[in-house]
Amino acid sequence: MTRRMDTAEHILLVTLSNIGDVLMTTPVMEVLHRQHPGAMMDIVADPRSCELLEHCPYRDHLVHRDKQQGPRGTLALVKQLRQRRYDLIVDLRTDGLAWLLRARHRCTRQGGKRSTGHAVERHLGVIARHTGISEIPPTRIWLTTAEHSHARHLLSGLPGKRWLAIGPGARWEPKRWPVRQFRELAQIQADHFDAVVLLGSGDDAAHCREIAAGLSLPCLDLAGRTSLLQAAALLQQMRIFIGNDSGLGHLAAAVDIPTVTVFGPGEPERYHPWNRRGVWLRSQSGRITDLPAGGVADAVTALLERSMYKGIH
């Protein structure tokens, strides 16, 4: 039985590390905000992904946690957080931090309702004891006019509006679909798009240059040239995003554009972008190199047709 707690004014959320993981915790934030609309939320996040929460309207303090600092950093974090008593602490990291802090109520992995579904569903299981969840919200990212204006400026030189975004990056090489496959896919789909926009970190710059080389479509290579929020604003202007299992796919889902995610090793059933307009693919062998460009192109075509049928452009 769900046991709703009293209205909370001060909430602490301990979120996860990676870009995609943080975005998949935003439905928890939305549910907490809906149940406690007057509450402000302190959030513990890693420096590399905390930018995603910069403009959240119900965020209070954004506390950095750097795992590289080890036990000394953890002690400093506990000391900082114990300066406030919270009505509710939600710890999605399961490392016991919540029990070292002052709070009326705590929700942790150990005490949460277990779920074997998608990561978003498993995160919501942690707060299921204290909340009534009638429907699962989408993932969210909060943007300002500054990000939107910057995106329009960067895209102003491209023809048309039917833009294809490609993200060839991934943190682990077995999760990278070969560059030649991305390039072949873009060529197969050339009639459906006016231009290609390549996104990624500076580490992805070489891959993006290879994809851009020889494309028949106009191409804007922005690898290493945008912040996370700027990349999200750019993605919001795209017709579709195609990429590996990485943070960019989750960013695309958070701005609600169609996504096609190419998986190699991993658990796509649990970690695919949480998106009503997304599909994912993986080869029968599980090796990402065995997934042909033609098969991904068919999925792109089907998704575009479905989007057009529903009036989505």
| Spatial distance between the Cα atoms of 91 and 83, rounded to a whole number of angstroms | 18
The domains of the chain are located at: 10-126, 153-309
Q: Which two tokens stand for residue 196?
A: 């290609």
Helix axes 26-35, 119-126, angle to 10 degrees: 40
More confident residue, 206 or 3: 206
> Using CA atoms, how far apart are residues 128 and 124, in angstroms rounded to an integer?
6
**Same fold across 10-126 and 153-309:** yes
Tell me the per-residue pLDDT of 176-185, one tens digit each, with 9 for 90 and over: 999 999 999 9
| Residues near 197 by beta carbon (within 8 Å), at least 6 away in sequence | 155, 158, 163, 164, 165, 166, 219, 220, 222, 234, 238
pLDDT in tens, 40-63: 999 999 988 999 999 999 999 999
Q: In angstroms, rounded to a whole number, what is the distance separating the alpha carbons of residues 81 and 100?
A: 9
Dist. CA 276–CA 81, nearest whole Å:
37
Q: How confident is the model at residue 115 (pLDDT cuts 50, 70, 90)?
A: low
CA distance linking residue 233 with residue 238, whole number of Å:
9
Tell me how far apart the alpha carbons of residues 115 and 151 are, in angstroms, rounded to a whole number: 38
What DSSP string runs through 80-97?
HHTTS-EEEEEESS-SSG
| pTM for this prediction | 0.92
pLDDT, tens digit (0-9, with 9 covering 90-100), for 191-240: 999 999 999 999 999 999 999 998 999 999 999 999 999 999 999 999 99
* Rounded Cα–Cα distance for residues 139 and 253 (Å): 7
Start-to-end CA distance of the chain, whole Å, equals: 42
Q: Are 14 and 89 within 8 A, CB to CB?
A: yes
Mean pLDDT of the chain: 91
- Residue 14: closest CA among 114, 117, 127: 127
Lowest mean pLDDT, pick from 1-15, 86-100, 227-241: 1-15
**CATH code that applies to domain 10-126:** 3.40.50.2000
Q: Which numeric CATH code is attached to 153-309?
A: 3.40.50.2000
Quick check: 153 and 187 in contact, CB under 8 A?
no
Per-residue pLDDT tens digits for 11-39: 999 999 899 999 999 999 999 999 999 99
